[in-house]
Structure 1
């Protein structure tokens, strides 16, 4: 069994290919047994005489190796890059797709038969289309692909499983389990466009490889993944669409078989996966968006004002809000959310209470109320009542707990043994509900950010979590069933005896809110928080890393992160699978080159100055001559050995982008 660990990989190994034990298809196996009779042994020589009748026994069995051919399941796809629907500066990136099964690209072949040529080439390829070029995907049946309509795109002849294949044209022979009712997606591409963007047979050798993570000790981490790379750069200022297409049986010994198509004719492909993304200017890239975030002020509060008395409250995160009093009159009162600009310094509040009004504070100097904790308590009560099953479970537990305590007290007073006392342990669903509430899960957004000016578009704001606000919130939820004085006394006893779930489990919590297109465009963001300030890009020791208590998208473009302890440095970066392949560029993407690395992955002072473009080096379609680029890289990096797709991937890979923030209050 493969020795794997559960840690995050610290290194990546690139492997040229991973051939399956058997290619997909139908197989026949025959077993033959011969029986002989030993007549005699003379002079240490065995003389045999075959039994004349029925001395040979034979049995034949057929079996199928069934794999994906005309469609892929969602579980076959690990990730794509650029991400589907993303918005960023991708004009220097070669799109790629990551497949969960490392043998998938080599389970079939792009040629008519396995004896035609190199069987290490993939049967999958990526085609990138600009907005005005993109074909319209169509869902048809395998029967319609087999018997196409007049003027349909050219496609190899499909023959049945037991049908004799043609010898003078390309074909695909159906396998067990494939029938004419199977649905698939096809695209039709005009030949004159396809000739410009399709990888050549020599290109295919470098456009698929396998990736495996390892730790520092060399142990394998995670699974092997197969990667298919495209050969075309997206166009800046445009929406690009990428199709993963099957090229099984489409190439002959020299190159792609266009089946005598004319320039205006269409070539049909089976599309196994597709996605789209937008390529915009550099400021809209991952790093560009984060680098240009609004950080003034850096903490969660309203902008500064010239009014000293108002500024005193605003600096603590307060905001004046309309307040409707019980008598029907209106006023304005101060409110602050649980996310405050600095460390909490309010005196400890005595809980539990019987009504939210006990938490309303009045400032006689300015004649205004502070309703922050009263609002928190009332919100907790409403959230508790909102969940019918939770409120009933909590009420029943409190009642059972009270009855059990009384039974024990009665037995002790009467000096009698007590039996069959019901289980008063807090149900896990109640404790987990309170734990989630302590991390502000389920809190309406306007309670967290009561004014949009506190979190403008494309901004990041850091904060402390007010523990008193959290305690009031939890006590409000725990107040279900707290009606009489006796009920209030029981809840006080819960606090004294440490049986109340309404206890804030975290002494100090800090975090940030991010409102940016980065949240929507890069859904797989990773965030690391540290307890020390590091103002450079050097790695930070793990012992300074803080526990990430919560990381959630509150809306399409708003992210909240909570850390255990005081966070002083935050790194926002992409997931490891967003390691991508591409070129380096100058002059706003007008001139491309490629910086090179050693076979061990270390940067060197060498580069490919002139990128070879397909068709007389024309850059207009941004299609790279992959084979020629590989030869140029090999000439500068390693002339002595065979240059494979693994080495090409190592040279073309670009690191995960990371942006670091230092917190200053």
Structure 2
């Protein structure tokens, strides 16, 4: 079946399996004649391979008849080896053990081990006689033995002189040394050297040395009356191993491979202490090899121990409780129907008091924590550390609708930052998602290559077709004019600015001339339309219609991009620290429900699909075209399935030891009647004890009519020596209805038929708690044969009869969900961020603002100031969106290479301190026309503006013909401030988001607002200090003035003093420079005048 090609590690494994079943009109297992109905199991007493391990010979003979009548025979033979595990179990074959390592366990329950290989217990032969057709028992070569710690010894022999017992009582030895000691009579052991496979004896393995009395209790012959005799009898162990074949629905509920549907189970045959005189405590379980154990093996009378090979071992502790403690207690702790549904958020004690606080800021922070946010460190672009709030895609509330963020595609992650003005913190949730999507797209080479090829194909085809359409719409004269204009443009190239860094300050013409470039309005419109059409074509299947992963794609690159995108919507490759931002939201032994934030997913996809935009710059029509095609796929009903693609919108997280102890834990979440979609979209382990489950519907009783059920996996069902009372004197034989009729319609629940107290001796070795498996199987078989008659047709006692007799009731937890809330509806996932904002289509408004921004910052690294530009338009223009923050160009030093003075590592700056200031300061308002006095004495900033301003403090190093360099310790800028609004202050204090370096990240700005001293005016101080924490005398050359020609920084959201008395007032800003280890400042003054915009 095609679905069998889906590995369980596929993020959409469950959905692909389900869709494949619907397409083929049958279950995956229905091709098998032995297919099981949902939730059924089939038991086999044994599952022997065709050939067991050992040396085998194949012989061939052929009789040849000659035409003359004489015949002759050709014969040939060849030896070959069948290999099987002997001293080690492959880790991949071990599925699970119970009780779990370190767990607790009732005394009357029987440990067991589940193996993925159904043949493994019988891959080595334990007898030469051929069984009859009615024989239902095959003795395995594996057995599970339980020991008390004192029953495993460390004999005083030379072989073990330098050895010590491990926690489970094993000793690590070389197999050859152990076998040689056995052959020499130093260690009584049934294992012998195998000359046909000597290489396996060169490895190391774990061996145990069991007390001889315990060994005899495990192996001696027990009659039907419970009496024992010395000959070794391994036949009871044929009842302690069986095979279970599990139905596909149970495997799907566990997200397990449908190919591995058969498991072999090996039971232990020893209970815990049954008397008060036998203390409860630690027990050790060993999966031992029975190879060589038969009536011929007889340890010497003087032997005190027997050496055996242990293939796997673990420990647990006994408890006096009768229940299946480990699983049932875990379910009780996780939750019961009375506790209701708890969502993924921190404990109430962390936010309840804050929410109820009368302080609005504390209340706001508490509400943020209640909604799943965490306080995180946030480093700004300038390197400053501050706080931010952030949460991942899993949220405890119904998904919010954020219209502005979901409208346009985004060019930078900072466009997705949200400022919480009430608490002054930035919400980085969606910005982080955008960055994460882009990072993971860049890291996935297959996806990256496919996306770039797809983008290139769409871009080239759309551009050519758009040009052709525009050309056909124009007349010959217009085409000729365009060619003449192109020639003029080429001739004017020689007038371009010389320095590459000054390209950012080139004059932007108010209107663009029409040409066949991507920015021509007519061609741009055509390009967008054709790009969407081309992406739609590539999203189709060869056979017609949309490509849906079950048909052949027109573009294999689109198939890769679509698969990666769908996997991303299933939270694939998103690490746990992004999924679970606050660890306290998911405490131990808990289940927490959540919704998936669609805006977070859209931001993640927007960042991923932004990769490869090499041509369009601040527009990305190809990305929008790809997302529109993806939206069409997500909103279109698949005709073969009858529903649209399933996308997760909710889910739950389970954190408990049962997740690690029961890897195939069943999660059942049935849909309403008549709904054929997959009930569970994904389940995966985020950690050994954390399980993530995703659904595609709201968490309501309407969408989950039977609630959510957590059930013990059927092939990990527990076993108990008696479902009634058990003691050293008696044991209750609890007989259950066991049907052998293959017709599932005639099967009924395994209800109790009768409880018959029996003497303990025939069924139990009370001294050691050894269960007489053979006697119990015969008793159960006889009762069922006499009682059920027609519905029980088994011919002889078997391992399956004993397994069902010992089986313990499967434990289940049901979590009911609440009714829908009409005030908070939850809709399916919708792809957003589809629009392209054509910034080049804004006309003169865009150009005017670009010019104002670019001329407001220094363009030279020397003490020369840019001249004021003349605007062609003076009216105020309203811009629809803010541009990304402006950053000053790189200094000329970085473009031209290091100066010669730093070529030698031993060179030091000038020893003397400077006698005059080395920097000049001018202040501008970002986004407004700059003004500077030709003499450099004064700058102007507007006062008649709405809201605060972003001020650019341009600190430029003065030109020095002598090339002297000094060690700069710090720079402080003192801005006059007055909270009262008088004319004494340029600004009204400062409580904004802070300052950031425009270009030079060697220095870091820090803000101080000290109280005014008596008789002095208040001020706001911005200190520029080296980012390095090295003392001044050890500062690197990176702090020399020659290396720091530009110290420009931006102070954001500055409240300007707009009092009437401040109009045309000139304010002095003091600049203090500190050099070397001197505490004496060199002081200069920058003059700033407050004017109206018209006077800039």
1:415-460 deviation per Cα after TM superposition (whole angstroms, max 9, x unaligned)? 69xxxx9996444443333323222233343332222221122221
Match of 1:74 in 2: 90
Match of 2:308 in 1: 269
Q: Report 1 or 2 for greater relative contact order, CA contacts < 8 Å, sequence distance ≥ 6.
A: 1
Match of 2:146 among 103, 128, 135: 128
Partners of 1:125 and 1:247 within 8 A in 2:
no
1:552-573 deviation per Cα after TM superposition (whole angstroms, max 9, x unaligned)? 2222322211112224422223
**d(CA) in 2 for partners of 1:154, 1:80:** 31
**d(CA) in 1 for partners of 2:294, 2:110:** 23
**Change in 2 beyond 3 A, CA 1:485/1:642:** closer
**d(CA) in 1 for partners of 2:248, 2:436:** 47
Larger Rg: 2
Name the Cα RMSD after superposition: 4.8
Match of 1:154 in 2: 188
Structure 1 residue 487 displacement after superposition: 4.7
DSSP 3-state at the match of 2:619: helix
- The residue correspondences of 1:573-652 to structure 2 (distance < 5 A) are 573-584=711-722, 593=732, 595-600=734-739, 602-609=750-757, 612=760, 617-618=765-766, 621-634=768-781, 636-639=783-786, 642-652=796-806
2:401 aligned with 1:341? no
**d(CA) in 2 for partners of 1:103, 1:531:** 37
**d(CA) in 1 for partners of 2:399, 2:726:** 47
Match of 1:47 in 2: none
1:79-137 deviation per Cα after TM superposition (whole angstroms, max 9, x unaligned)? 343276473536443333455665665565545x5389999444443322344435424
Structure 1 residue 261 displacement after superposition: 3.8
Unaligned runs of 5+ in 1: 36-50, 160-173, 533-540
**d(CA) in 2 for partners of 1:296, 1:234:** 37
Q: TM-score, normalised by structure 1?
A: 0.76
Match of 1:455 among 574, 577, 586: 586
Structure 1 residue 203 displacement after superposition: 2.1
Partners of 2:45 and 2:242 within 8 A in 1:
yes
**Change in 2 beyond 3 A, CA 1:89/1:354:** same
**Change in 2 beyond 3 A, CA 1:353/1:484:** farther
Match of 1:359 in 2: 416
Match of 1:203 in 2: 236
- The residue correspondences of 1:248-647 to structure 2 (distance < 5 A) are 248=292, 250-252=293-295, 257-262=297-302, 264=304, 266-271=305-310, 273-279=311-317, 285-293=326-334, 298-304=342-348, 305-306=352-353, 307-308=355-356, 309-310=363-364, 312-321=367-376, 323=378, 332-348=387-403, 349-365=406-422, 367-387=424-444, 390-391=447-448, 393-413=450-470, 425=555, 426-482=557-613, 486-491=617-622, 493-494=624-625, 497-498=628-629, 509-531=649-671, 543=675, 546-567=678-699, 568=704, 569-584=707-722, 593=732, 595-600=734-739, 602-609=750-757, 612=760, 617-618=765-766, 621-634=768-781, 636-639=783-786, 642-647=796-801
**d(CA) in 2 for partners of 1:543, 1:382:** 38
**d(CA) in 1 for partners of 2:62, 2:453:** 74
Structure 1 residue 268 displacement after superposition: 2.8
Partners of 1:570 and 1:661 within 8 A in 2:
yes
**Change in 2 beyond 3 A, CA 1:332/1:637:** same
DSSP 3-state at the match of 2:588: coil
Structure 1 residue 402 displacement after superposition: 1.4
Match of 1:12 in 2: 41
**d(CA) in 2 for partners of 1:125, 1:285:** 23
Partners of 1:28 and 1:62 within 8 A in 2:
yes
Partners of 1:613 and 1:623 within 8 A in 2:
no
Match of 1:94 in 2: 110
Structure 1 residue 292 displacement after superposition: 0.5
Partners of 1:13 and 1:213 within 8 A in 2:
yes
**d(CA) in 2 for partners of 1:445, 1:55:** 77
Q: TM-score, normalised by structure 2?
A: 0.48
**Change in 2 beyond 3 A, CA 1:280/1:405:** farther
DSSP 3-state at the match of 2:669: strand
**Change in 2 beyond 3 A, CA 1:154/1:528:** same
**Change in 2 beyond 3 A, CA 1:156/1:364:** closer
**d(CA) in 1 for partners of 2:572, 2:586:** 19
Match of 2:288 in 1: 244
1:47-105 deviation per Cα after TM superposition (whole angstroms, max 9, x unaligned)? xxxx9xx9996957465673537346638936343276473536443333455665665
Structure 1 residue 312 displacement after superposition: 4.3
**Change in 2 beyond 3 A, CA 1:234/1:156:** same
Structure 1 residue 613 displacement after superposition: 6.2
**Change in 2 beyond 3 A, CA 1:592/1:34:** same
**Change in 2 beyond 3 A, CA 1:100/1:482:** closer
Partners of 1:461 and 1:514 within 8 A in 2:
yes
**d(CA) in 1 for partners of 2:596, 2:31:** 45
Match of 1:114 in 2: 129
Structure 1 residue 462 displacement after superposition: 0.2
1:267-289 deviation per Cα after TM superposition (whole angstroms, max 9, x unaligned)? 23344x31325346669612311
Higher strand proportion (structure 1 or 2): 1
Partners of 1:584 and 1:592 within 8 A in 2:
yes
